[in-house]
Structure 1
């Protein structure tokens, strides 16, 4: 229940729980789901129960399966499941946030490893790398001496979450922050102002750019067209625009090299000691990869140059087929990583979220422009980053 919902152990546990629950269910095909939003009310089929528990998580107090087949001797406690679920919505999956920001969960020795990267031999880490290592430290730093409920980072994220859903102003957030600093024990680690708190949150790299788009998929309102009031192709007013979300790719790629847990794997495809028996176990074994290396020898000479796969498809975010809606995420897969890593969800990079309700169709290239510009910058110019495996700037 308390593992990251992105982890294999959590998903395996959900499968075990549901298999046990449906085996002992009074109704042959349905059972109630103990997710934080549904409150053990409506019976559903297996697939929907699985989806809810993965997306929303378990009710924290449901440690005895009183409605899912445990014997009466086990069910000695009542399940405390408050009907008002707004409080449970404040719960943040911190491991999930760290996965998104860093690409892996933080182990007990991670802070020491990254601290070595700052103080060891080799090049001085650049500014982005220092921000990254400081983020890892903040993710483990106590809110105050002896606090076991929150770290400095987890507390700030929860506070920002409440700010967003309750509509606090920046000034009111600063006032609340001042109050916490006065009441918490000596040695508290909270930032001194809203500005400092926001600066820390921004280092998570979860910022995104909102770009208005013509509802008929003709153009994006950006660069020289940023101030236009209507579509230059079909003259549709900008007031009817859809909104594209662009999540910058370059910072995510830089972090794959900055982290000591992933940097060495970014050259796995080039290593001679990996299995090479004529079978295609990875894209680097394919004729297309080899042909590309032959045609672009300068690029292939440095194994740290990044190879990416791109995938996109429409999805209905409302979990029901009765609503016609199609949102298109654009996902990138770093093929430098070995097969047991590159196809894991934490290493998928969402670059764009193309808005609904209609699919972009052949006009998807309009929405891909911000991503293509980043890829062209990486190909033609390159971006400096810090390689934790060699402790050098590359």
Structure 2
């Protein structure tokens, strides 16, 4: 185009070509709308090729001139390009360049930031919808133009219930309808833990307090029956009490478990008779496809689900999983899936909890939740966007048999990958075939083993080192420990030759290679899963490679699972908590928490290492020489006093002083977030000037590692440096701390850097959200 020239501009990632305004090419004072060759609505649809045409540039110039004119010719105006999104101010020239390079933000259709008044059709209408109608829309609504209509009898029945629900609570009541009042009260009952009996008494009292013609229900039974009409759909699936199978598909008509023979129905505890028709155990499955359909029926949500497509990182920093190599690997391996930004990327998490809130109860209920990574950072972790998919009943945890309960979810995920679901997109006003991929799972370490199908204790407790895990049994401490971190160092590192600092041997081993998903899948190809807790199992292992595997995980039924770089994430939250408690317990020599003691010193003597710490017999007593990590009583008082007197801003953390016992010099009752704050920031402050330099520096380095690992924005180059640094840090711990200190949680940080490098920031993959 005449009057334009190409100017290369250097950036941190290389050079790119931008279109610059040439000399003599001035902004026109007025451009009539008749000169537009692009309509306003087509701004959002232009590609980099069409944005270089003369027509598009005239339209961009016209926009800049209109914005200057409407804002009073200010020096800078808001930039509405896809990158800036009206968040930053630039000069008119820069705004024009951004529009040509990046294009207009497709969401920004009414230019109210630049002085345009919305038309009557564009102004939002305030439409008040009843609570009953909202519940109806969420549970049953369909788009008549795109999906099949509901059953006529069902709609007629619901219409009657809807009319009844919308009646005022009593004559003259303007604030509450029958439904809104009941929903409000029932929510308070759930949040406050009221019993059914107390709630029934409240309803009866309110019914008598209100005027005679009130619509208030009398009992909790009537409330549940009334709300049942509006509840979101879920499936009740009967299960074997020993977790052998689900009574669905080929087992749907069976009365007894085909494996263990136990009855499908409940057994009366007193008479020991079978109560036919009352299932002994029920799995509740909340189908995910209707939930995704509901998400795309919301205009705002449908818009937010494509946020990731225009907000990728441009400076090599990772702020969101969209910037991670795993996301890019999926795009490269399956370009047809990546072509439509409306396809979903999911993460799965599960953990057990006691629904009764009673610490004396051992009941364990397991919810299985999905999160959607398409959403922006401020929305993906909101509780309304976390999808509950399965509710696995107790009283005992499913353990390795959790795959039995995951079957309906995995089937839907396979369908969404292979076939896809037809969904109406409210934002674009069109129907499309939505597909979904499960990127990874997030769990604490025991649940990690349950989902991955591997052991989390014993000689092969590390699922990443697998059969190359360096483990050692301590005779007197009676535990397996995991050291040998010098193997991960470069071959020329001086630590490899320091015999006296470590186990008395020169390290010549090599860094273990992590097994790929393909290798695991092939190794477990012929593995026969044995579900259920019907008795003691003695599995014969004909192949040595299956020793660490307890099952072939159901996730390998997903066609793409074995090709993902990271399938199961180590939970940073629980790792930090366990390591923090181990360090504090050892430093303060707390009973039951310290990793040092008589048995630990006997293990040193048995192994023939660290001779200066061996126990010494002095008549009837055994003397334990102080170690380099041992705090004197005065140092313990200083350490505890610093934490006791600590004052932090409101909302920064809980009051850690409540956990400090100044008399016994102990710190107990720390929550996960307390340990997080201590390890990342407070522990180095509290230990300043205490301990010997060696162990103190090792602790400081570990705290600095977690501090940089848990940043919201991470640099892949810095993470690569952290991967090397954590190896050296753990070797320093081996030098100063006894072998009994090194449980599996102390070993796992060596793999956290790799997962952050492949999957992005840890806040998208830890358990804080799901534990809450």
TM-score category of the 2 structures, normalised to the smaller one: 0.5 to 0.7
2:319 to 281, 286, 291: 281
Deviation string, structure 1 residues 12-60 (Cα, Å, up to 9, x no partner): xxxxxxxxxxxxxxxxxxxxxxxxxxxxxxxxxxxxxxxxxxxxxxxxx
Partner of 1:246: 285
1:78-117 alignment runs, 5 A limit: 109=126
Q: Whose Rg is larger? A: 2
The answer as to whether partners of 1:142 and 1:150 remain within 8 angstroms in 2 is no
How far the C-alpha of 1:243 sits from its partner, in A, is 1.1
CA 305–128 in structure 1, closer or farther in 2 if over 3 Å, else same:
farther
Higher relative contact order (CA 8 A, sep 6+): 1
CA 204–210 in structure 1, closer or farther in 2 if over 3 Å, else same:
closer
1:1-394 alignment runs, 5 A limit: 109=126, 124=145, 126=147, 143-144=167-168, 147-151=173-177, 153-154=179-180, 202=229, 205=232, 207-240=233-266, 241-272=280-311, 275-394=313-432
The answer as to whether partners of 1:123 and 1:391 remain within 8 angstroms in 2 is no
Deviation string, structure 1 residues 122-162 (Cα, Å, up to 9, x no partner): 99454579x9xx99xx89x9645974332465257589999
Cα separation, 1, equivalents of 2:144 and 2:355:
46
Segments of structure 1 that go 5 or more residues without pairing to the other structure are: 1-106, 115-121, 167-181, 186-193
CA 271–203 in structure 1, closer or farther in 2 if over 3 Å, else same:
farther
The answer as to whether partners of 1:308 and 1:332 remain within 8 angstroms in 2 is yes
Deviation string, structure 1 residues 143-188 (Cα, Å, up to 9, x no partner): 45974332465257589999xx79xxxxxxxxxxxxxxx9689xxx
CA 275–109 in structure 1, closer or farther in 2 if over 3 Å, else same:
farther
Deviation string, structure 1 residues 218-246 (Cα, Å, up to 9, x no partner): 10011120111111111122124321111
CA 222–147 in structure 1, closer or farther in 2 if over 3 Å, else same:
same
Q: Which consecutive aligned stretches of 4+ in structure 1 deviate over 3 angstroms post-superposition?
A: 107-112, 122-129, 141-147, 155-162, 182-185, 200-204
CA 128–376 in structure 1, closer or farther in 2 if over 3 Å, else same:
farther
CA 344–157 in structure 1, closer or farther in 2 if over 3 Å, else same:
closer
Normalization by structure 2: what TM-score?
Answer: 0.29
How far the C-alpha of 1:254 sits from its partner, in A, is 0.8
CA 123–298 in structure 1, closer or farther in 2 if over 3 Å, else same:
farther
The answer as to whether partners of 1:123 and 1:393 remain within 8 angstroms in 2 is no
CA 146–288 in structure 1, closer or farther in 2 if over 3 Å, else same:
farther
Cα separation, 1, equivalents of 2:373 and 2:411:
20
Partner of 2:105: none
Partner of 2:527: none
The answer as to whether partners of 2:313 and 2:323 remain within 8 angstroms in 1 is no
The answer as to whether partners of 1:218 and 1:233 remain within 8 angstroms in 2 is yes
How far the C-alpha of 1:372 sits from its partner, in A, is 1.0
How far the C-alpha of 1:341 sits from its partner, in A, is 0.4
How far the C-alpha of 1:287 sits from its partner, in A, is 0.9
The answer as to whether partners of 1:327 and 1:353 remain within 8 angstroms in 2 is yes
Cα separation, 2, equivalents of 1:307 and 1:282:
12
Cα separation, 2, equivalents of 1:384 and 1:151:
36
Cα separation, 1, equivalents of 2:262 and 2:228:
37
1:219 is paired with a residue of what secondary structure?
coil
1:390 is paired with a residue of what secondary structure?
coil
Normalization by structure 1: what TM-score?
Answer: 0.54
Aligned residue pair count: 248
How far the C-alpha of 1:340 sits from its partner, in A, is 0.8
Partner of 2:11: none
Deviation string, structure 1 residues 237-278 (Cα, Å, up to 9, x no partner): 212432111111111111111001211011111115x55332
The answer as to whether partners of 1:310 and 1:332 remain within 8 angstroms in 2 is yes
Segments of structure 2 that go 5 or more residues without pairing to the other structure are: 1-123, 134-142, 190-195, 198-211, 216-221, 267-279, 433-772
